[in-house]
Amino acid sequence: MHLLSPIYLLGLAAVALPVLIHLIRHRKVTVVAWAAHRFLQAVVRRLQRRRRLNDLILLLLRCLLFILVALLFARPFIGGGQISGGDGAQVVLLLLDGSGSMGTSNGVRSGFDQARDRALEVLDTLPPTSSAGLILFAGRAVPLVSPPVRELDTVRRELERAVPMPAGSDLAPALEAGLEMLKGMRNARIVVITDGRQGVWADRAKLEQLGEVAAAGNISLEVIDTSETGDLPNLGLVSLESSTARPVAGQSVALGVGVRNGGTQPSERTRLIFETGKDFPVGEAWVPALRPGASTVVQAKLRFDKTGWQTLTARLPGDGLAMDDSRTIGLQVRPRLNVVLVQGASAPGRGVPPGFFLEAAAVPVPVAQERDFPVAVTTLQASQLDAAHLQTGSVVMLAGLTELGRGQELALKEFVRNGGGLLITPPAAEAVRTAYLTRPPLEDLLPMTDLSFVEAEATYATAPPYTSPITAFWNDSAAGSLEAFIVQDHLRGTLRDNASPVLPLADGDPLFATQSVGAGRVFFSTVPLEGSWSDLPLSPQFVPLVQRTLEWLSLQSEATPQVAPGERWSLTVPLVHAGQPFYVAGPLNPDEPQLAGEVELVKNRALINEASTREPGAYRVYLDPAGPPVGAFGVNPDTAESDLRPTPNAEVPEWAYAALSSGGTTGPKAGPLTRWLRALPEPWVLLAYAILLLGAVELYLAQRFSRPT
């Protein structure tokens, strides 16, 4: 028996308290001249002895209580001493696989339960005075008992509390941390308890290297494989993508769902269900039969009727591993996009107005189909633009305007600051170029300053990769190429600090530039999009480019539709909400949004940052818990964990293969008596019970003895 905090033994001095109280109580004596002595003598003679015995019992009980309380604070435990591996004692570090695949269940016990049992067995077989530590590895190392301690009950308690996480199972970070921890210790062992799925040994080279470090440090490496043999069915979802993060209400959106057979037997044709909100099915698709290891992408089309933030969950029937049977994304269903096109005068000698191509690319369908297209365009002359038009549209395109009224400029600036999108193209006419370059309309909103005209330098857009969200679409070669058009003339300028270039040209100038202004966005083209300076409007990529630009401009905030467990999810909201509390309804509280934090003000942007994303599932974010959500996202586990097939021997590090071949754990198993003793509560718990019991007895006796005899 040893003590964690022996300093508290000083509290034993408190034993003197009841004795002192007893003495003080007996010190003050009242003297009474008494006549009826005979009765008092008779009574006292008869009862004094019993009374003294009662007093003695109470005194002893109180002293004992103080002794037990002092011992309780000293935290006794069985075992103890300095941590070292000397004299037969061992230092064992348990590396427990806490990845998602450990949640595989045979219907009775999960893989993690079995791993926990094996870890307890290891603890039970340790020689006396050994010490142990515990690290959970699930993509990263999660130290639960670190460094190793002599109180094995602490390790057992942490083992009981531990739960698997919906994350990957890379062993390398945990093993590296463990080796660092045990460096220089004698009789040190690292016991890896895992189901041996492929993710565990993913970084084989690193693991081989760590095996050499362990051998050099004389640290024994052992592996306990808890994987179950036999057929393990597991059809898992590995991805869920929407063709757009902002589908238009009432119009179809294309979905792609990645499905993989991670089990050890072929899967049958399986129904896939789509749900929104509170498990409400909105559609279905069928997953074809898949052989083990095969994957496919199931295409589906869904239509959302209600606007606003929603979560969409794809769900498969339950199987051996529940973790990968569903995936969730967040979508912002928006109404039809109204675009106001304001165009200047046509260039001399040209038959089309400056906004002609833009208008055609914004609504690239026959007139009969315009009503069903998600974008509607209202075309105006500059003199017609007023505040009423700005209220109906969410994006304004200014094509070839050389001047605007002061009132119009003010209204447009207010429109952008409040979240509107603005696309600006310069005029093509040479006659007005100088005036435009001297003082362009809405100069304050332009992403570039010091504009100058670059003439007769035929150039092209640079090749992918592109970093802008507008052009990132063309990083996939299947989407076409943006290098196929010529830019003859363009404007050159200096980018503002908060502006971003879009699609750099070969000469280094950006063809487009963007910047955020308040809650809105501005897109500036350095060429008029009418075909005189560049043949871009005639390029097949022009329509998708305009469509993507309009979508980007209409986005008031960008949010990731899904994050990994533990990853932070962010959303920009209007500045007015900075400092307000926000609420989150997650998988554990789907109907009751709970206070999650405050909207932060970061670099003049109001940001909602939600980091409590450990649990996979659907999350809805609210600024007003009684109102509609202002954001939604899904938390989805690591897809690698879906693969339950054992790792081929060739991919297992040599030291692990050797450990597995030799049978893993060594040493005698604990007998039933030892296990029973270990199952007893810790000494301090017993002490606490004893104190409660003694306290109750003391109260009862004190009350009973204090009654007049």
Q: Rule CB under 8 A: choose which of 13, 16, 21, 42 binds another protein.
A: 42
16/23 with CB nearer another protein:
23
Element (H, E) at 426: none
* Rounded distance between C-alpha atoms, residue 603 and residue 623, angstroms: 20
The angle formed by the CA atoms of residues 361, 363 and 368, to the nearest 5 degrees, is 135
The structure tokens listed for 429 are 């006419």
Q: Rule CB under 8 A: choose which of 5, 41, 384, 475 binds another protein.
A: 41
Q: How far is the CB of 124 from another protein (least distance, A)?
A: 55
Q: Applying CB under 8 A, does 703 fall inside the site for another protein?
A: no
- Binding region for another protein (CB under 8 A) out of 41-49, 272-280, 460-468, 544-552: 41-49
Element (H, E) at 246: none
Q: Applying CB under 8 A, does 24 fall inside the site for another protein?
A: no
392/706 with CB nearer another protein:
706
Q: How far is the CB of 701 from another protein (least distance, A)?
A: 14
580/709 with CB nearer another protein:
709
Q: Is 249 helix (H, G, I), strand (E, B) or coil?
A: coil
Question: Which contacts (CB < 8 Å, 24+ apart) does range 173-177 have?
Answer: 173/137, 173/140, 173/141, 174/95, 174/135, 174/136, 174/137, 174/140, 174/141, 175/95, 175/137, 175/207, 175/210, 176/141, 176/206, 176/210, 177/135, 177/141, 177/143, 177/146
Q: How far is the CB of 44 from another protein (least distance, A)?
A: 5
Q: How far is the CB of 17 from another protein (least distance, A)?
A: 19
Q: How far is the CB of 589 from another protein (least distance, A)?
A: 59
Q: Rule CB under 8 A: choose which of 381, 383, 475, 709 binds another protein.
A: 709
23/601 with CB nearer another protein:
23
Contact string (CB under 8 A) for another protein, positions 648-687, x = contact = ----------------------------------------
* Rounded distance between C-alpha atoms, residue 631 and residue 616, angstroms: 17
- Binding region for another protein (CB under 8 A) out of 29-37, 120-128, 205-213, 332-340: 29-37
62/334 with CB nearer another protein:
62
Q: How far is the CB of 60 from another protein (least distance, A)?
A: 19
Q: How far is the CB of 707 from another protein (least distance, A)?
A: 8
- Binding region for another protein (CB under 8 A) out of 31-39, 77-85, 104-112, 396-404: 31-39
38/371 with CB nearer another protein:
38
Element (H, E) at 505: none
The angle formed by the CA atoms of residues 595, 598 and 602, to the nearest 5 degrees, is 155
Q: How far is the CB of 46 from another protein (least distance, A)?
A: 7
Q: How far is CA 305 from the centre of its chain?
A: 29
Q: How far is the CB of 64 from another protein (least distance, A)?
A: 23
Q: Rule CB under 8 A: choose which of 1, 34, 476, 478 binds another protein.
A: 34
Q: How far is the CB of 697 from another protein (least distance, A)?
A: 20
Q: Applying CB under 8 A, does 25 fall inside the site for another protein?
A: yes
Q: Bridge partners of 77?
A: 2
603/704 with CB nearer another protein:
704
Q: How far is the CB of 672 from another protein (least distance, A)?
A: 53
**End-to-end distance of the chain based on CA atoms, in angstroms?**
45
Q: Please answer whether residues 118 and 665 qualify as being in contact, where contact means their C-beta atoms are separated by less than 8 angstroms.
A: yes
- Binding region for another protein (CB under 8 A) out of 23-31, 116-124, 178-186, 291-299: 23-31
Q: How far is the CB of 700 from another protein (least distance, A)?
A: 17
The structure tokens listed for 696 are 């109750």
Task: Choose among 269, 350, 308: nearest CA to 532.
Answer: 350
Q: Could you give the C-alpha distances from 302 to 189, 242, 249, in angstroms and in order? A: 55, 10, 11
Q: Please answer whether residues 148 and 92 qualify as being in contact, where contact means their C-beta atoms are separated by less than 8 angstroms.
A: yes
Residues near another protein (CB under 8 A), total: 27
29/478 with CB nearer another protein:
29
Task: Choose among 494, 498, 501: nearest CA to 518.
Answer: 498
Q: What residues have CB less than 8 Å from 608, skipping those under 6 apart? A: 570, 571, 572, 573, 582, 597, 599, 600, 621, 630, 631
Give the CA count within 13 Å in the CB-facing half-sphere of 371: 1
48/106 with CB nearer another protein:
48
38/269 with CB nearer another protein:
38
Q: Applying CB under 8 A, does 704 fall inside the site for another protein?
A: no
Q: Applying CB under 8 A, does 36 fall inside the site for another protein?
A: yes
Q: How far is the CB of 704 from another protein (least distance, A)?
A: 12
Q: Could you give the C-alpha distances from 377 to 182, 216, 373, in angstroms and in order? A: 69, 72, 10
Q: Rule CB under 8 A: choose which of 13, 17, 21, 43 binds another protein.
A: 43
Q: Rule CB under 8 A: choose which of 32, 108, 205, 216 binds another protein.
A: 32
* Rounded distance between C-alpha atoms, residue 579 and residue 623, angstroms: 11
Q: What residues have CB less than 8 Å from 221, skipping those under 6 apart? A: 189, 190, 192, 211, 214, 655, 656, 659
User: Where do the H-state alpha helices sit in 74-195?
Assistant: 111-124, 152-161, 172-181
- Binding region for another protein (CB under 8 A) out of 22-30, 102-110, 613-621, 664-672: 22-30
Q: Please answer whether residues 78 and 126 qualify as being in contact, where contact means their C-beta atoms are separated by less than 8 angstroms.
A: no
Q: Please answer whether residues 145 and 132 qualify as being in contact, where contact means their C-beta atoms are separated by less than 8 angstroms.
A: yes
Contact string (CB under 8 A) for another protein, positions 429-458, x = contact = ------------------------------
Interface positions, 44-63, toward another protein (CB under 8 A):
44, 46-48, 51
286/700 with CB nearer another protein:
700
- Binding region for another protein (CB under 8 A) out of 39-47, 58-66, 338-346, 455-463: 39-47
- Binding region for another protein (CB under 8 A) out of 36-44, 151-159, 280-288, 307-315: 36-44
Q: Please answer whether residues 191 and 224 qualify as being in contact, where contact means their C-beta atoms are separated by less than 8 angstroms.
A: yes
Q: Rule CB under 8 A: choose which of 230, 366, 672, 708 binds another protein.
A: 708
The structure tokens listed for 476 are 């996939």
DSSP 509: -
Q: How far is the CB of 19 from another protein (least distance, A)?
A: 16
Q: Please answer whether residues 175 and 213 qualify as being in contact, where contact means their C-beta atoms are separated by less than 8 angstroms.
A: no
25/603 with CB nearer another protein:
25
Q: Please answer whether residues 256 and 238 qualify as being in contact, where contact means their C-beta atoms are separated by less than 8 angstroms.
A: no
Q: How far is the CB of 703 from another protein (least distance, A)?
A: 13
The angle formed by the CA atoms of residues 563, 518 and 355, to the nearest 5 degrees, is 100
35/456 with CB nearer another protein:
35
Q: Rule CB under 8 A: choose which of 1, 33, 367, 673 binds another protein.
A: 33
Query: Which residues sit at the interface with another protein, rule CB under 8 A?
Result: 25-44, 46-48, 51, 706, 708-709
